[in-house]
Structure 1
Amino acid sequence: MDHQRYVDWADDRIVGDSRKVVLAFLVVTLLFSAGLGNVSTNAGTSQFTTGLPAEEAFSQVNDEFSPTFSADTGNTQLIQKGNNVLSKGSMLRMLRAQKWLQEKEGLRVTSTSSAASIVATQLDPTATTPEGQIRAVESATTTEIDAAVRRAASQSPQFNSLVSSDFNRGSASASATLGLVVHEVPAGISSGSGQGGSSPLTGIQQQAQFTVGAAGHGSIVVFGSGILAAEFSNVVVDSLILTVPAAIIFILFFLIIAYRDLADMVLGLIALFMAIVWTFGFMGLAGIPFSQMLIAVPPLLLAVGIDFGIHAINRYREERVEGVGIDRSMRITTDQLLVAFFIVTGTTVIGFAANLTSSLPPIQDFGFVAAIGITFTFLIFGVFLPAAKVELDELRQRYPIPTFAQTPLGSEGSRLGGVLRGGVAIAERAPVVFLLLTLVLTASAGVYATGVSTSFSQDDFLPPEDNPDWIMSLPEPFAPSDYTVTQRTNFLEDNFDTTQSGQATIYVEGPMRQDSTLERIYRAGDDPPDSFVRENGRAASTSIVTVIQDRAARDPEFRRLVQRNDRNDNGVPDDNLGEIYEYLLDSSSRDRALNYLGEDYRSARVVYTVESSASDAEVTEDARAVADDFPHSATATGSIVVFQAVTDVILESAIQSLAIALAGATAFLVLIYHVLEGRPSLGIANMVPVVVTVALLAATMRLLDIPFNAITATMLAITIGLGVDYSVHVTHRFADEMHEHDLVTALDRTVRGTGGALFSSMLTTVFGIGVLALAVFPAIGQFGILTAMSIAYAFLTSLLVLPSVLVVWDRLTNQRRPLRSLFDLDWSRPAQTTESDD
């Protein structure tokens, strides 16, 4: 395929119709800007669980096993703190807060409860409303209240769950207590295991905060999933507000050093702005919401855009300082860089698009948007920027536009050029030894990196409990919100027995009337695994079997029915199960039965209590093993299982996307270099520094104790995309120089010319992306650190490792040199540029 004719056509448009090209790109920018207003946000953990089998089963469980025709409900917690929240005054404040919330029509409160209301009913059993409970407490003496608190503690398990762990029965005191408010909300929002996103509870709980503030005098705060969702979204916005200005400052500083010309820098900034507008405008038009994952897209576009921009201007200046005219200089530049940019774009898109294989929708969205954004960046910096540069320099010839330094970076004789030549010096003397040492380092890093952990939890999406003082002292609008979620979550975990045990659910689908179905469900609890709580040697559980047993214990007629159909006298019916179910559904146990049995007798759920000390991985593995013993089709689910499923998918996605990105990028480079140079093996040489970079980054993750989580799971594939960017520029420039120069001269000209641009873009993007470490969203901070390090590693390996790789590649593929010349120390002899069979 003759690619040159396509490049020549693009050259003609860029140079000959530069003004039309610039106008066309500005018009497209206006079109994409129309989509900016349509970009919505999506935050939290719920976006990651959608579509997983365990989550789908969990949603079905929530949908099926609830009272028929009942409205969905949402819960709000009232957290009260004080010297003694069980004193008369404190309990009255809690009860008044409950009363005010119930009276507020917009809050849709269906019921409230608290330790104070339980104590009030101990004082007056007829006090069933907040008003009556307030009167009961107001009329009681301190002695009577303390006695009522002690009775509540001995008689009510709910009371003990609502007071803090420092509750002292003797003094009838505690430092914290909880109130629970139940709201009726639109259908569908109470199910699922994830948190975040938009929710009707957000507005309800924010309004409840205002209402309770008047009643609680600051001692009672509101907490719930709606407030959690709001702070998830605020974290995204605050992270952008804090990091984008800092990134701009760093980028401007280094761009001034790189361009050293105001007009050229303005062109580069305009092109960067256009890349962002095109990408986010496309998101708005395509209906793709902005999530925490996509916070990383702008820095990635800046990384590639800055690199493209500096390379384009620097390569153009190399020709201009030789006295070549504007049009001719730009044609030479685009002849080389359009191909290089295309190769970089192809491999980078492959690296990002590898994330489309993930089972997690946010990671898929990230891969898709990043791939589209990089494609836009290629068009803007490969076509628009050169055309705009032609227009600018032609204007400079007619008008007195200020012009500053126009010399390329890394030119011969400069200090930077001497430093950049370090990799060539190694390649001249001992390339094989150096590559063997590099191989040992890479292998060691790869083995060490196998210990990188994987995690997925709500904590990954929460801001830190306390931001540094300097961040909180920033003026508006840079100061982040006053986050409370992490503080309140930690307070609940530290002061209440809310995590003593968890649950694992088995969702069963099949004909529940079939004989022995209940017997098999019952036997699945025999000899439970270690992570399951035991009761009398069996797994502690609730199910339709326990509902039947409880009913049989209270109802003689039902007990006789069960006994007639129980073959082995273990209290579990084996025959005529339809008759058993019909009896239950016609009794007062109907609602409880429907919590565990589908109304059409085609599904059931069994809820097992699990040990609090067991890890999510242990619980999930054991729950799946128990599900295998169930009749029909059984799926292990529940919040613990769903979150562990996401953790498993994150690791799977990281490994899978890495393999696909490596294989895809290598195949693409082999094909491209076969088409362009007739030397496909050059594509393999191109990938060597990328592999080294990936191994070093993975090892760094373990060293810094940064796990693969929902955000960093994409890092290895991204590293391939960004790493190839640097190595392609070196390899492609080297291939061009080899047509006219000997091996060492070609390498020298490559690292001085391309290396200078790489150095500038590396510094700019490392600091520009590194500012993500300032984000109040911890996972994004980790992502920024890792991305900056991957760029630094890619730069170092491209200039230190790649020259030796190219020298060895030349010796292996050059038919006119004997293989023993691979170990020659004299590399200065001109290489023969004959075609090889490759």
Structure 2
Amino acid sequence: MSRAGRWVEHATTRLNGVIVSRPRAVVLAFLLVTAAFAGGMSAIETQTEPTEGFSEDLPEQEALDAIDREFDEPFEAESESTQLIHHGNDVLTREETLTMLRLLERIDAREDLRMGSANGPATVIARSIDPSAETPAEMRRAVAGTTDTEFRRVVRELSDDPRFSRGVSDDFNPSEASASTTITVVSHDVPEGFDDLQSIQTDVQSLASDEPADIRAFGSGVINAETGQIIADSLLIVMPIVLVLLLGFLVVAYRDPIDLALGLFALLMTLIWTFGFLGFSGIPFDQQQIAVPVLLLAVGVDFGIHFVNRYREETVKGYDAVPAMRTAADQLAIAFVIVTVTAVFGFGANVTSDLDPIRNLGIVSAVGIVFTFLIFGLFLPAAKLELDRLRERYGVPEFGTTPIASEDSALGRLLAVSVTVGERAPALFVVLLLLVGGGLGAYGAGVDTTFEQEDFLPPEEEPGYVEYIPEPFAPGDYTVTATLNLLEEEFAASQDASLTVYVEGPFEEDHALEALAEPTDDPPDTLAVGEGGRAETTSIVTVIQSHAESDEEFAALVARNDLDGNGIPDRNLDRIYAELFDSPAGSRAGQYLTDDRRGAQVEYTVESGATQSEISADGREQAERYRYAATATGQIVVFDAITAIIFDSAIQGLLLAVGLSGVFLVITYGVLEGMPMLGIVNVFPITIAVTSLVGTMRFLGYPLNALTATILSIAIGIGIAYSVHITARFIDEYRENDDVAASLRTTLTGTGGALTGSMLTTALGTGALALAITPVLGDFGALIALSVLYSFVISVVALPPALFLWDRVRSGSSAAESADPVVEA
């Protein structure tokens, strides 16, 4: 051991001496800190908007926000409005219309619902019957006073009115005056900064559910309410299962009720510290954060099993409690530090992401791992000593004090198989593993990357196991996904894939409209859907042309100011705009040109079947063709930008985690043991495990999404613990007998048994997330469990040949001098 290594060992020994000599003081200090962190738990804020934070600071999102803020979209839900979706066989009958108007009347009567106005097919019909009708009550009376024949005649006459047609489903039949779905938008008069829209929308939904018809309230508040419910329900489903699984394996691992209670209490402390930090830091608790307690429980169980198992290995040799704890603490302290630092690198690598939710997940999980180390590395041994003293004083018997595995056990013999195989042809074995891992990594490079709002929402049809979940753990009813699917089906024509370009410029300049129309002549492929390969657009230009076709006076005005005769005016644009906005087409014009004439939006129809990335790329190319500053936007473009960042975050996090872990391990083993190459040996198994995981993701169809993008770096953080523990124990044994094979067998039968127990608890515990209601959490749970299994198996399989090869290289390549053909290979 180097001088620096001896200094570190001496410092560690002194610290452990304090722990074992003053355990009561250590326990008391940790309990006081736990009480302080418990106070922060009450300050935790829950983030219920599914995709909030992902698009922050994106230029595409800023352009979309500007469109939402500056343009008038009469039938799209704004942040201060609620959509009423009326669905049935025919919702344009007189009776169904009266049902909608009665609901609006009830909403209007509730002052706390702050109804400002309502716009939809029912209100348009009522005002057509009686233009003086202003309130829902007056509209209802107007419709009630007509006959069915008169009512249907009015509906037929409104078929070409965009105020009416935009609110009815695609199956609207003008001749029959029928449609299966309508949308009515209720705006709410709320002050600036009002943050209780969720309660308003849920109250509106409650009123709608009282109606005999199928009317659903929908909006951001409803989505946020169900997202909050999903978070609570997911925790209520997952955490008990995790705890039951952990309890079952801890019973097997500890086999002693007092040790079991101590391990569970340490896990509880870990959660209290972490959630207290969450509250004090102001980081919101969102769906991604549900993974944090599961990960910390998994790592905590790993630490606990290792400590108790190593302590028992000493006690069964006849050592008293204090010397046994000193030995266990001295041997495990460095391994725990290494595991903690590499786990922080793995989890914390997500801090570099440009997406706030992923960055927050990295911060909280990294801090939580440090807390786990402190509690299980300092508190647990002190509490264990104090409890053992108390049970000895009061004569409490011990129920299980032997290690999990031994050389004579079936598990020990199984784990030691890789030693025998690895000793025979280590170089060949290492090369084979590298080829397999490299091949799987190359295959996995084609894994899909996605970002969709549906990832955060429950499926329309809940999994079959949900019906067997008893109260109070049974989840509630969810409607958001079904409503979204209904809107997608019934309003497909109006929701066809489209792209918007937001253009900023002085649109009263003579050439402004020509500049807005020019890029449509030769667009990229996915936008060339019009006649002759032109773009099919809707903009202020097309609104002017459409109004000119129906208004001769306006057409003459346009013609007088159209110098080149192409139907686009080239001068006096301010007068043309004034005439247009004062006409019946004014509301339509307001959707494509702002009041200050400084902003315009151009909507593009895109090729059916084009992918999100193709549309986004062509949209950005098209935006660059405008003379004015232009930004391609829309949900497709924003989600594509987020998808690109998710992929970059995954790769960046993986490289950072591997790089930092590798450098740290090389330096650590070089300083402590004078064996820097052991750092490379440690990283070797986890690298193969991660490449295997990526290949498996592609094969099984798991994409990189808002949460699984973190899986690669987190797999490093969790998985490297297996190789670190094996290597740390190997070094201790190797110092004593200088025999690689014997040291590995002792390591794999001793530490390997604890690793097997922690692997099972970690894999099944984190795998319980697969039962979460939302797809994004389910995928994450399945993949994290798979990564744990891969990390354990590959560490046990890959480390023996790698260590045999390391020993031969370290001993001066004696095998090469004797021309050993296997080593030369």
TM-score normalized with structure 2 length? 0.91
Instruction: Pick from 770, 773, 792 the counterpart of residue 770 of structure 2.
Output: 773
Q: Distance in 1 between matches of 2:302 and 2:572?
A: 74
- Aligned position for 2:779: 782
**Secondary structure of residue in 2 paired with 1:539:** coil
Q: What residue number does 1:811 align with?
A: 808
> Which among 402, 418, 421 is matched to residue 423 of structure 1?
418
User: Aligned residue for 2:297?
Assistant: 302
* Match status 1:221 vs 2:226: no
1:637-786 equivalences in 2 (<5 Å):
637-741=633-737, 742-786=739-783
Q: How many residues align?
A: 810
CA offsets, 1:291-348, max 9 Å, x none? 1111110111011111111111111111111112222211211112110011111111
| Counterpart for residue 441 of structure 1 | 436
- After superposition, the Cα gap between the structure-2 partners of 1:343 and 1:777, relative to the gap in structure 1 and judged at 3 Å, is same
| Structure 1 residues 816 and 97: CA distance shift in structure 2, 3 A | closer
Give the drift of 1:439. 2.4
**Alpha-carbon displacement from aligned partner over 1:652-689 (angstroms, at most 9, x marks no partner):** 11111111111111111111111111111110111111
- Partners of 2:554 and 2:424 in 1: CA distance: 96
21, 24, 32: which is aligned to 2:37?
Answer: 32
Q: Is the 8 A contact 1:517 1:631 kept in 2?
A: no
Are residues 174 and 592 of structure 1, via their aligned partners in 2, closer, same or farther at CA, if it must alter by over 3 Å?
closer
Q: CA deviation at 1:75?
A: 3.3
Match of 1:181 among 180, 183, 186: 186
Give the one of 466, 474, 477 matched to 2:469: 474
2:110 is the counterpart of 1:104:
yes
Name structure 1 gaps, 5 residues minimum: 190-198, 827-838
CA distance in 2, matches of 1:311, 1:494: 55
Structure 1: how far apart are the matches of 2:328 and 2:304? Answer: 12
Match of 1:412 among 407, 415, 436: 407
Q: Using the TM superposition, give the Cα deviation of residue 181 of structure 1 relative to its aligned residue in structure 2, in angstroms.
A: 2.2
Confirm or deny: 8 A CA contact 1:502 1:609 kept in the other structure.
Answer: yes
TM-superposed CA distance for 1:234, in Å, is 0.9
Q: Secondary structure at the match of 2:527?
A: coil
Whole-Å Cα distance in 2 between the matches of residues 170 and 614 of structure 1?
34
Any conservation in 1 of the 2:90–2:179 contact (CA below 8 Å)?
A: yes
> 1:27 Cα deviation (Å)?
0.5
Tell me how far apart the structure 2 counterparts of residues 823 and 802 of structure 1 sit (CA, whole Å): 21
State the distance in 2 between where 1:175 and 1:582 align.
Answer: 37
1:575 Cα deviation (Å)?
7.4
For residue 571 of structure 1, report the CA deviation from its aligned partner. 5.3
Cα deviation for residue 567 of structure 1 reads 6.5
CA contact (8 A) 1:92 1:137 kept: yes
Please name the residue that 2:615 is paired with. Answer: 619
Q: Report the secondary structure of 2:610's partner residue.
A: coil
CA distance in 1, matches of 2:813, 2:611: 62
CA deviation vs aligned residue, 1:723-766 (integer Å, no higher than 9, x gap): 11111101111122111121111111111111011001111111
Q: How does 1:185-584 map to 2 (within 5 A)?
A: 185-187=190-192, 200-214=196-210, 216-497=211-492, 499-509=494-504, 516=511, 518-532=513-527, 534=529, 538-543=534-539, 545=541, 568=564, 570=566
Pick which of 72-81 and 218-227 moved more. 72-81
Residue identity in the other structure for 1:791: V
Tell me which amino acid in the other structure corresponds to 2:646: I
Give the Cα separation in 2 of the matches to 1:97 and 1:822: 91
Q: Which residue of 2 is the match for residue 836 of structure 1?
A: none
In the alignment, the residues of structure 2 paired with residue 539 and residue 94 of structure 1 have an alpha-carbon distance, to the nearest angstrom, of 39
Write the distance in 2 (CA, Å) between the matches of 1:821 and 1:417: 34
| Separation (CA, whole Å) in 2 of partners of 1:76 and 1:498 | 22
Of the structure 1 ranges 497-506 and 423-432, higher mean CA displacement relative to structure 2 is found in 497-506
Give the CA deviation at 1:401: 1.8
Inter-partner Cα distance in structure 1 for 2:594 and 2:492: 32
Q: How far apart are 1:695 and its partner, in Å?
A: 1.2
Cα distance change, pair 821–156 in 1 and its aligned pair in 2 (3 A): farther
> In the TM superposition, what whole-angstrom CA distance separates every residue of 1:592-629 from its partner, at most 9, and x where no partner exists?
77765667776554443434543322221111001111
Instruction: Give SS of 2:500's match.
Output: strand
Paired with 1:510 and 1:608, the residues of 2 have a C-alpha distance of 19
C-alpha distance after superposition, 1:377-413 (max 9, x if no partner) = 1111111111111212222332212311111121221
Q: Give me the identity figure in percent.
A: 47
Offset of 1:705 from its aligned partner?
Answer: 1.2
Residue 672 and residue 171 in structure 1: after superposition, are their counterparts in 2 closer, same or farther (change >3 A)? Answer: same
8 Å CA contact retained: 2:267, 2:300: yes
**What SS class does the counterpart of residue 520 from structure 2 fall into?**
coil
Q: Deviation per CA, 1:134-191: give whole Å up to 9, x if none.
A: 33433444444444444444x34554554444555565544444333233344478xx
The residue number in structure 2 matching 1:62 is 68
CA distance in 1 between counterparts of 2:505 and 2:816 reads: 69
- Letter of the 2:189 counterpart: E
Q: Distance in 2 between matches of 1:656 and 1:40?
A: 29
- The residue identity in structure 2 corresponding to 1:774 is L
Contact residue 99 and residue 213 of structure 2 kept, 8 A = no
Aligned partners of 1:33 and 1:277 also within 8 Å: yes
Distance 1:236 1:327 in 2: 45
**Residues 581 and 587 in structure 2, CA contact (< 8 A), matched pair in contact too:** no
Q: Is the 8 A contact 2:558 2:576 kept in 1?
A: no
Moved more, 589-598 or 814-823: 589-598
Give 1:360 deviation, angstroms: 0.4
Instruction: Name the CA distance, whole Å, in 1 between partners of 2:819 and 2:764.
Output: 39
Per the TM alignment, residue 646 of structure 1 is displaced from its structure 2 partner at its CA by: 0.8
Distance 1:507 1:795 in 2: 52
More off after superposition, 711-720 vs 522-531? 522-531
CA distance in 2, matches of 1:574, 1:176: 42
1:272–1:636 CA distance, 2 compared to 1 (3 A): same
In structure 2, C-alpha distance between the alignment counterparts of 1:709 and 1:678, rounded to whole Å:
42
Where structure 2 has 5 or more consecutive residues not aligned to the other structure, the ranges are none
Deviation at 1:51, TM superposition (A): 2.1
Does residue 1:47 correspond to 2:44, yes or no? Answer: no
What residue in structure 1 maps to residue 11 of structure 2?
6
CA contact 1:243–1:772 (8 Å) conserved in 2:
yes
- 1:757-806 per-residue CA deviation (whole Å, 9 max, x = no partner) reads 10011111111111111111121111111111111111101111111111
Deviation at 1:459, TM superposition (A): 0.6
Q: What is the aligned-residue RMSD (CA, Å)?
A: 3.1
Choose 293-302 or 202-211, whichever is displaced more. 202-211
Q: In 2 relative to 1, CA 557–610 (structure 1 residues): closer, same or farther, beyond 3 Å? A: closer
CA contact (8 A) 1:472 1:480 kept: no
After alignment, is 138-147 or 404-413 more displaced? 138-147
Contact 1:72-1:187 at 8 Å conserved across structures: no
Distance change >3 Å, CA 173–CA 607, structure 1 → 2 = closer
* 1:472 Cα deviation from its structure 2 partner: 3.0
The aligned amino acid for 1:435 is V
